[in-house]
Amino acid sequence: MVCLVIKSGGAAALPEWKALFARLMPSLAVRDWNDPAVNPAHVDYALVWKPEPGRLAKMVNLKAILSAAVGVDHITCDPNWPKTVPLIRMGGELPAQQMEDYVLWAVFSILRDAPLWRTGQQEKVWTRQTGAARTSADMKVGVMGLGTWRAGGNAAGAGGFSGLRLGAPCQNAGGCDLLRGNQRPEPLFAGV
């Protein structure tokens, strides 16, 4: 029987994972990452978010590692992750939209000094800002390590921010300049 171990969403999410996979592949054995009855040598697939270092390497018969996230750095940061096993990242329209929303939230939080306001709220101290108000056109946004994700530059462009996207195919997207390979990012840091 083909075995899939899951480390995503915790033990409470396992019934939902099992139900989803049962519809797609009823013969698939879906097991919890921490199930002590699972022999690592009998695991065929691993769907993971932040696996403990060294655990994937013990699964010597893995056919693929599925990232429960758009990125894979939470897997590849383990020096012992099995590099010969195919590594599959999450994709699709919904994750791309969620990441685009996150980028906009992050850059607007910085633009509007959200951490300062949050601290003031918690301490019940309200300080008038003395600096000149910034607009999105005054701010440069750098997104580094995009991999295959394209929404970052689109989000920055949609928010009116100037920016550079690094590590993406060299073409214009969302009003942002793109760099790749050994191109230098100095324009991003000009005037900082």
Say what percent of the chain tops pLDDT 70. 72
Q: Please state the rounded mean pLDDT for residues 25-31.
A: 96
For the chain, the distance separating the N- and C-terminal CA atoms, rounded to the nearest angstrom, is 57
pTM score > 0.95 for this model?
no
Q: Report d(CA 192, CA 188) in Å as an integer.
A: 8
Q: Please state the rounded mean pLDDT for residues 135-151.
A: 64
Q: Which helix (H) or strand (E) holds 46?
A: strand 45-48
Q: Please state the rounded mean pLDDT for residues 147-169.
A: 49
**The pLDDT of residue 109:** 87
Domains of the chain: 3-88 (3.40.50.720), 93-189 (3.40.50.720)
